Amino acid sequence: MPSIDSIAAEYVERTVALDPSFATYAGLAGHDHELPDLSADGFAERAELDRSTLVALEAAEAPGLREQVARAAMRERLALAVERYDAGDTTTELNVIDSWVQYVRQLFDLMPTEGEEGAVNITRRMAAVPEAYRQFSRTLLDAARNGRPPARLQVEEVAKQCADWSKPEDSFYSGLAERLTGVPDSLRGELDAAARAATAATAGLGSFLTRELLPLAREKDACGPEVYARASRFFLGAAVDLQEAYAWSWEEIARLRAEQARVSNLIKSGATREEAVAILDEDPARRIEGRENFRAWMQELADRAILELNGKHFDIPSRRVGSRP
């Protein structure tokens, strides 16, 4: 019977093959030249891996506490992933921070840019951007036509992001291609062509969002309590009382606004928050010139904050240098 460790190891191995972006985020080599399948079939295949792994976890023995904790952690994440897929959440996500439009673009920020191997991987992954965005466009369109459209505001703002990343005079991908080092002459033409293709695909995705998806978008940004509850569990790793959390947050917002008003009044009697900020911005004594000076100021502030908070809001165990934890 497979162990929890072997199930986890197999899951990672199969996941990086189905989702090369996970490999890049996790620092696992071998898939930096690939992008995941963002078609409906691709999402379904990844969900099926989650399902089969859950079945294997249930059947596996977990004799020790370590194995029991590992199984519980995997079960919670995978069960929620399956639940979100079955509800249509994962195939309909579109927002300005945490959706596949951003994941594809952000992957290139995590890739090595030095040497020929780095240039080859970036070239191949850039060349895969058009197909990935075509697949994702079809997935979003099918979901919208089947009653799961994204919010209008998100569609509009993501389209703006695509426009910013694909400006002819300053595109993200062309700029990245120019910054690469160690690009052999034999690869330069392919790299530049891949950058142009990725740029055009990004612009095309923006046009698709505006032209085809926007007319189907829902007017309200709110997704509803069921979707929000699943998203909350996904990001927090726990189920919380959402009504209680909202009640607390509104009280906290009111407290923060009152504190901002109090501090603004200290800076200048009767000043609004915006006026107080402007006054501080114009004060030469509050400016820090130069990168190293700013770095030193930040370090001193962090050190002082830790010393002042230690023993009040948390405890830092004291240890002798060289002692074992």
pLDDT for position 320: 42
CB 182 within 8 A of CB 115: yes
Q: For the chain, first and last CA: distance in Å?
A: 35
Angle formed by the axes of helices 65-86 and 225-236, nearest 10°: 150
For 106, phi then psi, to 5°, come to -70, -25
CB 72 within 8 A of CB 78: no
Beta strands in 42-115 (DSSP E): none
**Which of 45, 88, 207 has its CA nearest to residue 137?**
207
Least trusted range by pLDDT, from 88-97, 198-207, 240-249, 310-319: 310-319
- 177-184: which pairs have CB atoms within 8 A and are 24 or more residues apart? 177/122, 177/126, 179/113, 180/113, 180/118, 180/119, 180/122, 181/113, 181/114, 181/115, 181/119, 182/114, 182/115, 182/116, 182/118, 182/119, 183/116, 183/119, 184/116, 184/119
The CA-atom distances, in angstroms, between 235 and each of 227, 229, 232, 269, 307 are 12, 10, 5, 42, 30
**Which of 249, 248, 229 has its CA nearest to residue 240?**
229
Percent of the chain with pLDDT over 70: 98
Residue 183: is its pLDDT beyond 70?
yes
pLDDT for position 294: 94
Residue 132: is its pLDDT beyond 80?
yes
Residue 323: is its pLDDT beyond 50?
no
CB 99 within 8 A of CB 168: no
Residue 6: is its pLDDT beyond 80?
yes
pLDDT for position 242: 93
CB 155 within 8 A of CB 94: yes
248-266, pLDDT tens digit by residue?
999 999 999 999 999 999 9
10-46, pLDDT tens digit by residue?
999 999 999 999 999 999 989 999 999 999 999 999 9
Residue 270: is its pLDDT beyond 70?
yes
The CA-atom distances, in angstroms, between 190 and each of 7, 107, 118, 164, 193 are 40, 20, 14, 24, 5
Label residue 315 by pLDDT band (50, 70, 90): confident
Angle at 222 between CA 219 and CA 228, to 5 degrees: 150
- Locate the domains of the chain by residue range: 4-236, 242-309
Angle formed by the axes of helices 40-59 and 115-145, nearest 10°: 100
CB 60 within 8 A of CB 53: no
* Distance of alpha carbon 176 from the chain centroid: 20
pLDDT for position 318: 66
| C-alpha to C-alpha distance for 205 and 197, rounded to whole angstroms | 12
73-116, pLDDT tens digit by residue?
999 999 999 999 999 999 999 999 999 999 999 999 999 888 89
